[in-house]
Structure formats: C-alpha cells, structure tokens
Amino acid sequence: MTDATPLIHATDLTVRPSGAEVPVLAHVDFAIRPAEIVTVVGPNGSGKSTLVRALLGHVPLAAGRVERKPGLRIGYVPQRVHIEQALPMTVRRFLSLPVRVSDERAAAELARTGVPGLESRQISALSGGQFQRVLLARALLNDPQLLVLDEPTQGLDQPGMVGFYKLIEEVRSQTGAAVLMVSHDLLVVMRASDRVICLNGHICCEGTPQAVSAAPAYRAMFGADSQGMLALYEHHHDHDHDHVGTGAGHDHHHHHHH
C-alpha cells in the first residue's frame, strides 16, 4: 500500500445511462496509485466496463466525481472483440495509428511485449495471443502512467493467459505504469493483482487477492470456483492485516488462518 497521490480518484460514483431504470453503478469509491495493479472482477452486467469508461471520462455521471491527475497519460487496450481483425493492415502501420511512431520505437515495444519482428505481418494473420501483445505494444507507445485493459485475455488459452499476465507484471516493473484491468479470468488475474475489486453494481468487497477470495460476498458471487483459488493463496497468506473494504457495508472481514 502506498500513499502516493492517486492517478485517478473517484468518489461516490453513480452512473445511470439514459433509458436505464436503475443505476448501473452506485456509490463507487475508487482510487488507483502509481505502479499498482488493480483488477475489477464481477459477473456479466455488473458494471465493470461502465466503471472503466466512467473513470476515463467517457460516460456522464449521475452523481459523484472523478478526478484524474492533470496530464495523465493512459494506454488503453480495448476488448479484442471490438477490433476489426479483417482490416487489411500491417502491424507496423497499426502501431502508427493514430499517432506516427518511429521504426525504432515500434520495434522496441514489440520486443518488450514478446512479439519482436512482426512489423510486416498482417493484423488479420496474427494469432489471438500475438494480437493481444501487439495491442499492448501499441498502448505502451505513449509512455502511459496508467494502462487500462478491458478483458485482455478473452479467447486466449490457459498458458496464453498466464503468459500475458506475467508480461503485464514485467511491464509494470519496467515502466512503473499502474495497471487497471477488467477480467473474468479470476484465478490467473488475481495472482497478478495487488488489489482486487469485486463489483456488482456497487463494490461488494475489495482488498488483496487473498482477502477478497476469502470474503463471503466474493464466495457468494463466484461459488465453488473460489475454493480452489483460496487454496492457491493460503501459503502466500501474510498475517498482517488483509483489508477487505466493505463498499456496501454488508460484508465483513474474514481472516483465514491455517
């Protein structure tokens, strides 16, 4: 935990899209600090993408406020499904859209993300894992202080996911960028996260991966899957105070000893 000034700080965030009868997100408090890896988990429709879009300033707020550090540089890795993979375009050209970058810089980021030398390949000819790394390389081109990834490993197999999250941790330690991810890949993503936020229209619980996987609200939401995950964490458990925030006030800290 660090006391550094947050890159983004949201207070009492409420979002109600026009046409929606109830808020999609209500009373969410959120902050992310430099070099932190924070993952938002939650079931389909729980407001994960809406939270990210609100933090980025892309959706109007019904209440609350979002403060972003002035001049904050954000690298965004969109959901793969939103990208037209059939577009005839080389990787090199893709990396220079919308902002032109040098060959050296393009090559360096492709190397950093584990896909060196792909410049002349067609985007449409890449594997899912290669494409994901090209998207990450592109997001790194403007030296982001914050990387935002919306379900970055959709469609990757288990080794692909594990490799991708390992890469994210490397990128964080090399660049010092904070990372905000949305994910369904609870098992692997939790291991790569400093802090997990469990969302369901509001924050159900949040804290270290260990603390969240032990939280009743989390277990209620993810059921049996959470059991295996907890076992993975038990031997990492530190006996300091794992904090489980209680966004909605109906969930209690649950300390696990073995």
- Interface with ligand ATP by CB under 6 A: which residues? 17, 19-20, 24, 42, 44-50
**Which C-beta is closer to ligand ATP: that of 76 or that of 89?**
76
The smaller minimum CB distance to ligand ATP, of residues 17 and 117, is found at 17
- CB hemisphere CA count around 175 (13 angstroms): 26
Least distance from ligand ATP to the Cβ atom of residue 44, Å: 4
Q: Shortest gap between Cβ of 45 and ligand ATP (angstroms)?
A: 4
User: How far, in Å, CA of 240 to CA of 238, rounded?
Assistant: 6
Q: How far is the CB of 198 from ligand ATP (least distance, A)?
A: 11
54/29 Cα distance (integer angstroms): 12
Question: Taking the complex as a whole, how short is the minimal distance between the CB of residue 34 and ligand ATP, in angstroms?
Answer: 25
DSSP assigned state of 200:
S
* DSSP 8-state class, residue 47: S
Query: Would you say 16 or 33 has its CB closer to ligand ATP?
Result: 16
Identity of the residue, 55 or 110, whose beta carbon is nearer to ligand ATP in the bound complex = 55
Which letter does DSSP use for residue 90 in this model? Answer: B
Pairing of strands 74-77, 203-207: unpaired
Pairwise CA distance, residues 146 & 17, whole Å: 26
CB of 63 to ligand ATP, least distance (A): 16
**What is the rounded CA–CA span in Å between residue 244 and residue 205?**
6
Residue 30 or residue 233: which is nearer to ligand ATP going by CB? 30
